[in-house]
Amino acid sequence: MPPKVKNFDDVFTYIAKRLNERKILIVIDEFSYLIEKDDSIPSVFQLIWDEILKDKNVTLILCGSLVSMMENLLSYKSPLYGRRTGQWKLLPLMFKDAQQFFPNYSMEEKIIAYSILGGIPFYLTMFDDRKDVFTNVKEKILSKGEILYEEVEFLLREELKDYSTYLSILEAIARGNSRISEIANFCKMQAKDLPKYLNVLMKLDIVEKVFPITEKRTTKKTIYKIKDNFFDFYFRFVYPFKNELEIGNIEKVVEIIKRDLNSFVGKKFEDISREFLLQMNNKGLLSFKFSDIGTWWEKDKEIDIVAFNKEEKKILFCKVKWQDLSKRKAEEIIENLKEKAKIVKWFNEKRKEYFCLIGKKN
């Protein structure tokens, strides 16, 4: 006969009475949505823990996808403050793991799919690797009624109050406006008003602030980029063309994506290459073990990846090219990279330099 329960107290009392010294794990998924429906839930679970579960052999895990709400749950003002034994912020899958969702794709197709979807497992399950990437984009992202068609704006509405301003900022960054002044001009805003919005987007792990790796973190030479691949793809290729998609003009948008996707994937390939170098570094497979890795630029000069070890004064310069490379072309790129490296101010007289080229094929 099923137990009669009227509330959460009844549920956990029923569980507690049947433990018999056994260790039990209780997981509640999307706890943040529960709080959204009833803001008294944290107080309810405070009493459940203090009066029913505290002295039991129980581990209670509360999961949620609304970042701000879950962080508030851990804050000093929360009824559950001081009762947690730990917290874990789950990050998106890296490419080496995400690619396993597409066993039927070639490596090139896996990179393109990851560049579009990023590392969120739910998004990765949306693509069918028995179909080509553009068919998946057309059917799963550009078609009204599909989850990914509305996903980004749905998440922003859930997390943010004045989300329309954030839409404009994200579109600006996705279209290549990376500096405060450029973003402000695109959004028709005052530059002084932007940081508060950008800080919120960074807190949500949607946007990140990037500075030349050889500079101090306090440098003013910063740019902003969309950290989440799917958000970046959405605001580059979907949101600006919503009117076209709403009237069913999908093919026009598909053609725009086909035209510009290569350059979009090229930037994501830099992130994948950085991930690859980190893996090599952790395994000790490089010429030296670096302690810092990032990008570098100075006016109109840019180096895709720079990694160094301050103690050993060793530095790696890496160029990333999302294209097939002949031996002659590769040699030209390396020579050009060496010239750019001369501009980088970092232990210039004492350092030992290493150079690397990562491409689709050599």
Helices (H), 237-356: 242-246, 250-282, 327-341
In a domain, 354, yes or no: yes
Rounded to the nearest 10°, the torsion over CA 82, 85, 89, 95 is: 170
**What pLDDT sits at residue 159?**
86
CATH number for the domain that contains residue 172: 1.10.10
User: 44 is written with which tokens?
Assistant: 């309810």
Place of tokens 């529960």: 34
In a domain, 81, yes or no: no
- Same domain for 113 and 67: no
pTM for the full predicted model:
0.89
**What pLDDT sits at residue 1?**
63
Residue 338 host element (H or E): helix 327-341
**What pLDDT sits at residue 139?**
97
| Domain span including residue 357 | 286-361
- Same domain for 17 and 163: no
Specify the number of domains making up the chain: 3
- Same domain for 295 and 261: no
User: Where does a domain end: 238, 268, 298?
Assistant: 268
230-240: b or e for each residue (b if 16 or more CB lie within 10 Å)?
A: bbbbbbbbbbe
Mean pLDDT of each 10-residue bin along the chain, 362 residues long: 79 83 86 88 92 88 85 84 86 96 97 97 97 97 96 91 91 96 96 95 94 91 96 98 95 96 96 97 96 94 97 97 92 96 93 95 60
- Same domain for 144 and 226: yes
Return the SS3 of 352.
strand
